[in-house]
Amino acid sequence: MYLDSKKARSFLFFSFAFIILLTIFSNIIGFKHLYDVQNDIYQLIETQNIQMTYMHKMRTLARERIIKLQALINENDPFRQDTIISEFHELGGLFLEKRELLMATTLTDEELTLLKIQRQIARNIVASQYKVIKLIRNGKNKKASDYLHTYTIPGQNENISLMIQFILYQEHQNLFIKSEAHKKMQAAYQTVLLLSIFSILLTVLVASIVIKNITAVIKKQSEALE
């Protein structure tokens, strides 16, 4: 049974309204998916960069503390020694501050393991550093120098090597994330493409039904006029 002209107009209106809503809906889903993928990738890379920045700063601070100890050994003025020791403690506070900020970020199990090992070694190094200061306080600069070069510096080098290992791991992760990001973006674009194709096919289907019914109404009206 063919639709009359009033029903045909109503059908035409709702059909094209459905097409418009379908197109809008599919585009919203597609762009939201792309946005979510891009945002996730951005967050991961940003976190990695922040973590590497903290670790680079920690490595620099660790080296500066050793330099302060070496300067302390070569300094005989008690007042100047106090100043260097104060600067040494200040660097230690900054180191702990950066470490806390690093630990507050999202870390993988591998990263946590590296940081745990680094912390254990750092505790031994701090004890070694304070022993150097104690020897200097007692006027045993030569013994302090020997201890610094025999125990403290090698231990600090091991500590720094772990920091470098952490940074290298982060750089590797960055490359991996960027590689995975490329794959995810391709998958996201494919999803949007499929949604667009689906929307177009439905549009063509609805349009063909509309055209068929309009043609039928026109034909019926033409037959009635005859």
pLDDT tens sequence across 47-63: 888 988 999 999 999 99
Section 215-225 average pLDDT: 64
Most confident of 74-78, 171-175, 201-205: 74-78
- Tally the residues of the chain: 226
Distance between CA atoms of 102 and 49, rounded to whole angstroms? 11
Cα 116 to Cα 20: distance, rounded to the nearest angstrom: 57
Predicted confidence (pLDDT) per residue in 101-115, tens digit: 999 988 888 888 888
- 103's CB contacts (< 8 A; 6+ apart) are 115
Q: Is the pTM of the predicted complex or chain greater than 0.75?
A: no
Backbone angles phi, psi at 194, to 5 degrees: -65, -40
Predicted pLDDT at 3: 46
For residue 94, what pLDDT is reported?
94
- Rounded Cα–Cα distance for residues 152 and 146 (Å): 9
Tens-digit pLDDT profile for residues 135-192: 998 989 999 999 999 999 998 898 888 898 888 888 888 777 777 777 777 776 777 7
C-alpha triplet 151, 152, 154: angle, nearest 5°: 70
Of residues 141 and 211, more confidently modeled:
141
Least confident span in 22-36, 98-112, 128-142, 212-226: 212-226
Which amino acid would we find at residue 1?
A: M
Summary mean pLDDT of the chain:
82
The model's pLDDT over 110-129, given as tens digits with 9 standing for 90+, comes to 888 888 888 888 888 999 99
Task: Say yes or no to pLDDT of 5 above 60.
Answer: no
Domains and CATH numbers, the chain: 5-225 (1.20.120.30)
Cα–Cα distance, 16 to 198 (Å, whole number)? 16
Give the chain's end-to-end CA distance (angstroms, integer): 19
Look at residue 225 and tell me whether its pLDDT is greater than 70: no
CA-based angle 110:116:69, to the nearest 5? 130
Distance CA 72, CA 136 (A): 8
- 75 or 190, which is more confident: 75
Q: What is the pLDDT of residue 24?
A: 75
How many percent of the chain have pLDDT more than 90? 30
As a whole-number percent, the residues of the chain with pLDDT over 70 amount to: 84
State the pLDDT at residue 9. Answer: 62
Cα 3 from Cα 216, distance rounded (Å): 8
**Predicted pLDDT of residue 226:** 57
